[in-house]
Amino acid sequence: MSAGVETVFDAGVDPGLIERSLGTSTFGSMWLDIPRPDYPPLTGSVTGDLVVVGGGYAGLWTALHAAQRNPDRRIILIEANRIGWAASGRNGGFVDASLTHGAENGKTRWPKEIETLDAMGIENLDGMQADIEQLGLDAEWQRTGMLSVATEPHQVQWLADAAALGEGRLLDLQEVRDEVRSPTYLAGLLNTETTAIVHPAKLAFELARACQEAGVHIYEHAEAKRLDSGGAALRIDTGEAIITCRQAVLATNVFGSLLRRNRLHTVPVYDYVLATEPLTDAQLDSIGWRGRQGIGDCANQFHYYRLTMDNRIVWGGYDAVYHFGRKVNAAYEDRPSTYRRLAAHFFITFPQLEDVNFSHRWAGAIDTNTRFCAHWGLARDGRVAYVNGFTGLGVGAARFAADVCLDLLEGKPTPRTELEMVRKRPLPFPPEPLASVGIQATRWSLDRADHSAGRRNLFLRTLDAAGLGFDS
């Protein structure tokens, strides 16, 4: 890997173990490997008051909350593929209160409103829990909290600093290993308030059910190919039907935006995940983890991992891969070198689980912008709202984003729409080949920093000073 000091994850792992553990894995999201409902295609032209484009969390929360705000509105949701098939059905299922991709990013960018943003983030997380309970959504919601772990000596101070700022309780080496037994852990930061875990695909499917019960008309295999705003009404063309409507919300995440102005604002970055077979009681006993917290280590290139209801470990992150040309392409998803690296890091973290195999391997594209958290806007005389750029933390933030979109369309200022974070758009990425050169240089520098006790080189410090950068 990179020159510099070796990290704990550079230790050698028996190649035979890695091959065996991945040998019988199925390619595809474990979360989507369950029965799911079908929604009809859109074959004839229709009219509506509000059309939501995109059937991931952002679109589903928008449609649901729109129906709750005004039950008389005719709301249509169209999805190009299947409900929840993309990022919303492939993610780690960490529901974090942060709306700003973590405290540090939020504090640096919006120092004056970070307290408000944090309070709104907690309100959103509590609101999501309340929605799930009131609507009876079976999304395997568990408010487990989050355990951040230091695996390198310099990271211990980072956690101590975060604890001093009230971001959690610092655990020393013994305390963190009492929670979860890994020889890689040097310290931990436990926050029991700000994170829940869910079954990502069930959340999407259950939101779709709630939408339908609230009167939303859902169509699958209906891709909006054109948005025409020339007349009094908006016209959305799917190739097979025209939808005429008063307002629209574009919740299309990493996929090509219907608005030209948004095309340079995000890039797809591929994130990779493994899931183990269900652990036996003895295997689970060997690692402890009775609190079932979501866990993340805290290098620039980090792993995130969690337990499922049937005691699998979902293990993802580290490599975040950008491909020249900004394309979303299924061919990028099966990347053997990355799956092997993830497996090796898993066995370094939990050597006591050497007899465990991986049942699934998959990847998804992350909608990354230059500020690492969502941005919004209105287009077409205020009739179209959009949100993009959740980067790697959109499971909770999508619900907040949906409310922002609806507030924007209502046209009256609200505490959400008054936020600087909502009013200001990030800088776009440059066109190719500059985007590729800049992103690869950033990733290389981040890897160097992880191998140099966290020290950031001049390139990263310059990006930091300019408020730019790159993250998964």
Ligand X SMILES: Cc1cc2nc3c(=O)[nH]c(=O)nc-3n(C[C@H](O)[C@H](O)[C@H](O)COP(=O)(O)OP(=O)(O)OC[C@H]3O[C@@H](n4cnc5c(N)ncnc54)[C@H](O)[C@@H]3O)c2cc1C
How many angstroms separate the Cα of 32 from the Cα of each of 68, 298, 338?
28, 28, 21
Contact 326, 244 (CB under 8 A): no
Would you call 8 helix, strand, or coil by DSSP?
helix
The reply to whether 219 sits near ligand X by the rule CB under 6 A is no
* 106 counts as binding ligand X under rule CB under 6 A: no
Identify whether the C-beta of residue 360 lies closer than 8 Å to the C-beta of residue 274. yes
Considering just the CA atoms, what is the radius of gyration of the chain in Å?
A: 22
307-326 residues near ligand X, rule: CB under 6 A: 316
Count interface residues toward ligand X (CB under 6 A).
42
The residues, any chain, with a CB within 8 Å of residue 38's CB and separated by 6 or more, are 220
Beta carbon nearer to ligand X, 86 or 170:
86
Whether the CA torsion 250, 253, 258, 264 is positive or negative: it is positive
* Minimum gap (Å) between residue 277 Cβ and ligand X: 20
Restricting to residues 338-367, name those near ligand X by CB under 6 A. Answer: 364-366
CA 438 to chain centre: 22
Q: Which of residues 13-72 bind ligand X (CB under 6 A)?
A: 53-59
* Residues 378-417: x where in contact with ligand X by CB under 6 A, - otherwise, as a string: ------------x-xxxxx-x-------------------
273 binds ligand X (CB under 6 A): yes
Does 92 sit near ligand X (CB under 6 A)?
yes
For the window 175-214, what string marks contact with ligand X as x by the rule CB under 6 A? ----------------------------------------
469 sits near ligand X (criterion: CB under 6 A): no
Q: Taking Cα atoms as reference points, which of 270, 464, 259 lies closest to residue 375?
A: 259
Q: How far apart are CA 316 and CA 319, in angstroms?
A: 9
- 88 binding ligand X? (CB under 6 A): yes
Q: What is the DSSP string of 71-90?
A: TTS-EEEE-SS-TT-SGGGT
Is residue 265 involved in binding ligand X (CB under 6 A)?
Answer: no
**Sign of the dihedral through C-alpha 249, 254, 258, 260:** positive
Site string for ligand X, 222-261 (x = CB under 6 A): -xx--------------------------xxxxx--x---
H/E element holding 227? strand 226-228
- Pick out residues in 431-460 that bind ligand X (CB under 6 A): none
Q: How far is the CB of 280 from ligand X (least distance, A)?
A: 26
Minimum Å gap between C-beta 191 and ligand X is 15
Phi, psi of 182, rounded to the nearest 5 degrees: -130, 130
Given candidates 30, 64, 96, 141, which one binds ligand X under the rule CB under 6 A? 96
Residues that bind ligand X (CB under 6 A): 53-59, 78-81, 85-88, 90-94, 96, 223-224, 251-255, 258, 271, 273, 316, 364-366, 390, 392-396, 398
